[in-house]
Structure 1
């Protein structure tokens, strides 16, 4: 595969930022199969963002011939007190994530799953973490607290401050050349670029993907100009808000019910979570998006691109409830392989049932 095709796959939506194109091209010219990674705190059920969006990028990187490491950071989840800090539950959640991505079609023979329980047995990792910590000021680290779901001023324990140097150490210890994480993890990745070469490592390329909005109305609406980033960060899809997110295991009826309650302002596309799902999931899967409607409301309507859908919605040619019903129907079909996988894999179902009973914290 030529380099331009690889770059196209790596940057394919839902990726929305590349730092930088020049660095990526130089890396691919130097290495045929560089290492990329994404990392997650295993802390509950997989929703559309954690599950589908992340699976898309893993599959894109695998197709591009990149050695992708899916890093299940059980220690970061423990550090962040996810699942009440119960390490056995956290490990079960990590197993659930792995099963979830396999159910979504991530190729298990091309993506390497790594648990931090294994990685951190190596004393060399901790040496890297200390060296990185000695080169990060408190002020610089405080500005990265977003990666752990905190605002500046919300760190109360020393453990809150070692989260970032541990995450940066992960990158260099796993020999990662491409950091492929969500936009909410950008600040840690930029630290790795800032200090990597100074410490004798390298400057990783960063590919950040889009964060799906949750289904609820943003806390401030309309979103004031200049405050978009903060407003959307608080409104992203989150497993800690089960009524405002769609889990990949949800039944068609559950998906329809959640979608019926979703925030979907009439005629408005920007910051509309239903349109967000249509853009990043439906049109990723479908070349034609068909919305079924009764004949008295205009009958079925086909859209061959997101732009066509957006224009029709803005012009008032498509009612919010018809949009919701159409998106719900397509999601139910897209997620059918997940329901089938879990029905046929006892270990996967055991993980799912265990985590469904657990109390999700933060």
Structure 2
């Protein structure tokens, strides 16, 4: 029997109403809405700084001018231990967005992890991993007390509003050919050449639908998710929707070894994990690719640019007087100038980087040692086999 899906419900397609200002407080401040003290340009610069790319800047500025609390959507598959890019970079980015008045919906994509065969497709294991990831963000300092960050489990939300979600997915599927959908396979960590299951072909249609289902104004995801976010903007053309989701794609931190464009959870030498012990961090950084005077493709320098400087607003190198003495860098440009000239050597940079990383990770390590629930979650996650 041929079924003609109805047009996506208007409720799914409209922009989210401004939330109750009484719940918009931010922790650690007497001002219930610190973003209200910022100018439009200040808010724009903070939000824009999150993305390596923004589609489109004029739309972002217009959104911030017209809507006090735009909704940002971010999502993740619970697929194993959390590396530092997902842990620290996401914490930095979420805190920037909430400081500028945004609300952040973090989509715990458990069904998507099952579709993509993560944790062998075992939903119980996937849930354990999801709970472990939330514990890390709590310990890392993500601003969860202000009421502006919401964790949503995809299975629960979709089941609760199935009549809204599935017509939307079907409509997106009908308006795109198979070739266009397969081109989005990068979002799953797959390539167009991989032998995809039918479930993995369905995945991009669902992720595109998420954006509208969550009433997101801004898609705040990595550069590797860009294609499906563009698909969502193209879908707006198909349905004659004027307000398109703004794409704010953040930088992808490379692996620690030479030529690794992206960190890998299955290769423990490629990444620092959020609960790595101090000695593990030291060894990984010591073995990391960091050629003297070479900036391009240098993962240690990327760590400093995207993690250390945004976190501490400076990077301090301790070294002997014969090697130039201690120096604190306030900007990445200043650091690069010294590194390219040879004035700053990897032998001095690496210990300073490891020290700074350990300072960031120490509260997370402590949380997983002292909190019995977190400790149990970590033990279980470490026992799981990571599946591609």
Length-normalised TM-score, structure 2: 0.86
Match of 1:145 in 2: 185
Change (3 A) 1:177 1:287: closer
Residue segments in structure 2 that go unaligned for 5+ positions in a row? 1-35
CA distance in 1 between partners of 2:142 and 2:133 (Å): 11
Change (3 A) 1:197 1:31: farther
Match of 2:311 in 1: 285
CA shift, 1:296, in A, is 4.1
CA distance in 2 between partners of 1:3 and 1:63 (Å): 13
What are the within-5 Å matches in structure 2 for residues 70-85 of structure 1? 70-85=106-121
Tell me, yes or no, if structure 1 residue 120 matches structure 2 residue 158: yes
Aligned residues of 1:119 and 1:125 also touching (Cα < 8 A): no
CA shift, 1:301, in A, is 2.5
Per the alignment, in what secondary structure is the counterpart of residue 156 of structure 1? coil
CA distance in 2 between partners of 1:284 and 1:333 (Å): 14
Match of 1:32 in 2: 68
CA distance in 1 between partners of 2:179 and 2:155 (Å): 29
- Of 301, 325, 331, which residue of structure 2 is paired with 1:305? 331
Count of residue pairs the alignment pairs up:
346
CA shift, 1:342, in A, is 2.2
CA distance in 1 between partners of 2:216 and 2:352 (Å): 40
CA shift, 1:172, in A, is 0.5
Aligned residues of 1:155 and 1:161 also touching (Cα < 8 A): no
What are the within-5 Å matches in structure 2 for residues 71-220 of structure 1? 71-108=107-144, 109-121=147-159, 122-123=161-162, 124-199=164-239, 201=241, 202-218=243-259
CA distance in 2 between partners of 1:298 and 1:137 (Å): 61
Aligned residues of 1:36 and 1:179 also touching (Cα < 8 A): yes
Per the alignment, in what secondary structure is the counterpart of residue 238 of structure 2? coil
CA RMSD of aligned residues (A): 1.4
CA shift, 1:299, in A, is 3.0
Per the alignment, in what secondary structure is the counterpart of residue 52 of structure 2? strand
Over residues 241-282 of structure 1, what are the superposed CA-to-partner deviations in whole Å (9 max), with x where a residue is unaligned? 111100111111110000011011111111100000011111
Length-normalised TM-score, structure 1: 0.92
CA distance in 1 between partners of 2:196 and 2:74 (Å): 27
Q: Which has the larger radius of gyration?
A: 2
- Of 278, 281, 299, which residue of structure 2 is paired with 1:273? 299
CA shift, 1:105, in A, is 1.1
CA shift, 1:213, in A, is 0.7
Per the alignment, in what secondary structure is the counterpart of residue 319 of structure 2? coil
CA shift, 1:343, in A, is 2.6
Match of 1:57 in 2: 93
